[in-house]
Amino acid sequence: MNNSSTLPIVANDAYLTLNIRYTLIALPFLFTLALVTNSLNLIILCRRMLLQHSCTHYFIAQSSSNILYTIVVLIVDWINTVFPMNLATRSLPECRIYAYLSSVTAVSSVYMLVLASIDRWCASATSEFIRRWIKVKIARRAICTLYVIVASYRMEVLFTYNVVQGQCIWTASIVDQIVFIITFYVIPHIFNLLFGFMTINNVHITRIRPMAITSVTRQRTTTSQQLQQQQNSRRRTEGQLIRMLLAQVLISIIFFGPYAIFRLLIFFKLIQLTGILSFGYRLSVSWMSLAYGTSLFAYILSGTIYRTELLQVLKKSLEYLKRVTP
């Protein structure tokens, strides 16, 4: 849903040439960045230390959706620019399948972050009943349920996209377009901000609780020191996952913002994609596409456990290369 072929762009020779040249340069960088960073994410997040936490499974699902989005949207867009193949507009079925796959991958990626936000809020809650929801089994069921819901919800794309003047255009009703704008651009970011602030508030409230818990556990001779160390280690990892999530939410808002503004202006017919605005729209698409390839850097900057696991992966890779290199 994030490619320029979904919106009519009025041709202008100078800016059309600029758009093509920019696409030839930017898209290879964008899809290479997205594929490399998300592949590294999958390798690191699937390590045992992180895999035992429910939030990690949402990050894994999001990285998987990002890779699929990169293949379906960015690489196909680049192929259409470099080679006169027009993969998404050669026929009506190709147009609709392309639009459906790009929509499902984009929407599922955004809502995986929402599920992760809810998971971290549950993890930081003081209520034991709420904390019971942060289980790996529950996370896996939630991920499968979300994929089914998104795939079913976006089925309308298979009937509302048409090839118009060589472009794959969304011809849905105004109501459908409003619903999509709200569900894709508004609701996810509101939920992320809401649960993000609630999580921060929970963390602030529970800062004094470990002191109280420690004073009680010291009086209990049945509590082993090893168990307490394991709980402290798990608590530290949970806190780092919260920071990783908040960093990812902030990045999502920053990179999705300009594109969302363009879509709203176009929807309300306040602007038309001609001249410099068509190039500005292309820039906003590329800027938003960076959100699909920057999670690695957010995790590195915000999570000590992620940096540790990354260094271990790199160390083992170097050791393997030394063994196989003559």
Q: What is the pLDDT of residues 30-46, one digit of tens each?
A: 899 999 999 999 999 99
pTM of the model: 0.83
Structure tokens at 274: 């001609």
**Residue 1 contacts by C-beta under 8 Å, 6 or more apart in sequence?**
99, 102, 103, 106, 107, 180, 184
- Which helix (H) or strand (E) segment is 124 a member of? helix 92-124
Residue 120 pLDDT level (bands cut at 50, 70, 90)? very high
Contact assessment for residue 158 and residue 104, using Cβ atoms and an 8 Å cutoff: no
What is the reported pLDDT for 11? 47
262 touches 206 (CB < 8 A):
no
Q: Are 274 and 10 in contact (CB under 8 A)?
A: yes
The full set of domains in the chain, from first to last, is 4-324 (1.20.1070.10)
HEC assignment per residue over 297-316? HHHHHHCHHHHHHHHHHHHH
- Position 320 pLDDT exceeds 80: yes
For residue range 181-240, list pLDDT tens digits in order. Answer: 889 888 998 999 999 889 988 887 875 454 444 444 444 444 567 666 666 666 777 888
